[in-house]
Amino acid sequence: MAEQHDRLHSEAVKGYLGILDNFDHNELLVIEKFIDALSQHIIQKK
């Protein structure tokens, strides 16, 4: 069971990294800033 989970997890990570490869550095920075702003907003709401 754990082996299957690890395999699925690594496949998911590979897929995620594959998606990230399609972005250039500036786009990644924008996404990162957006996520930061979003998480700050969520934290302030609590």
Residue range 1-46, pLDDT digits in tens: 788 878 888 888 888 878 777 788 888 889 899 999 999 988 887 6
Task: Using the CB atoms, write b or e for 7-40: b if 16+ within 10 Å.
Answer: eeeeeeeeeeeeeeeeeeeeeeeeeeeeeeeeee
Q: Could you give the CA distance from residue 1 to residue 26 in angstroms, rounded to a whole number?
A: 39
pTM for the model stands at: 0.45
CA 34 to chain centroid: 12
First CA to last CA distance, the chain: 36
